[in-house]
């Protein structure tokens, strides 16, 4: 979940959205967003989904991509 939080934060910064703006769009308090981004609390999936949706970020697609990437076996480069 830590990488997901990092990606949501990265997207927030990329879009130049402040924590205050994200709070207003997502319904998650600014303090809670700060605590999540600073790893002081572990958010629920529901909270992350609210934050992600407010940024136009689909965590379902993110999680599917992560799962698919984990399923791939690395190649050794020797053939």
**pLDDT of 33-68, one tens digit each?**
999 999 999 999 999 999 999 999 888 877 777 778
In a domain, 12, yes or no: yes
Q: For the chain, what is the domain count?
A: 1
pTM for the full model? Answer: 0.78
Q: What is the CATH number of the domain that holds 62?
A: 1.10.260.40
What is the pLDDT at residue 35? 98
- Tell me what pLDDT residue 72 has: 66
Whether 74 is covered by a domain: the verdict is: no
3-state secondary structure the chain: CHHHHHHHHHHHHHCCCCHHHHHHHHCCCHHHHHHHHCCCCCCCHHHHHHHHHHCCCCHHHHHHHHHHHHHCCCCCCCC
Domain range holding 53? 2-66
């Amino acid at each position: 979940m830590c990488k997901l939080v990092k990606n949501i934060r990265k997207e927030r910064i990329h879009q130049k959205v402040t924590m205050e703006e994200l709070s207003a769009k997502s319904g998650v308090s600014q303090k809670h967003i700060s605590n999540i981004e600073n790893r002081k609390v572990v958010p629920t999936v529901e909270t992350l989904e609210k934050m992600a949706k407010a940024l136009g970020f689909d965590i379902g697609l993110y999680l599917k991509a992560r799962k698919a990437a984990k399923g791939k076996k690395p190649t050794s480069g020797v053939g």
